[in-house]
Amino acid sequence: MTFAGVNTLGILAAAVAGYLFGAVYYMLLAKPWMAAVGKTEDEIKANMSAVPYIVAFVCQLIMAVMLAGVVAHLGDKSMTVRNATISAFFIWLGFVVTTLAVNHAFQGAKRLLTAIDGAHWLGVLLIQGIVLGLLGS
> What residue segments make up the domains of the chain, in order of their start?
2-135
- Write the pLDDT tens digit of every residue in 103-133: 999 999 999 999 999 999 999 999 999 999 9
Q: How high is the pLDDT of residue 137?
A: 77
Kindly report the average pLDDT of the chain as a whole number: 95
**Residues of the chain with pLDDT > 70: what percent?**
97
Is the pLDDT at 4 greater than 80? The verdict is no
Sign of the CA dihedral 17, 19, 23, 28?
A: positive
DSSP-assigned letter for residue 27: H
Q: How high is the pLDDT of residue 3?
A: 63
Instruction: Tally the C-alpha atoms within 13 A of residue 108's C-alpha that lie toward its C-beta.
Output: 1
Contact 80, 129 (CB under 8 A): no
Cα Rg of the chain, angstroms: 16
Give the number of other Cβ atoms within 10 Å of residue 36's Cβ: 19
Cα separation, 56 vs 132, whole angstroms? 19
Is the pLDDT at 136 greater than 90? The verdict is no
Strands 2-3 and 6-7: antiparallel
- Write the pLDDT tens digit of every residue in 47-81: 899 999 999 999 999 999 999 999 999 988 899 99
**Mean pLDDT across the stretch 80-108?**
98
Contact 6, 112 (CB under 8 A): no
pTM exceeding the 0.75 threshold for the entire prediction? yes
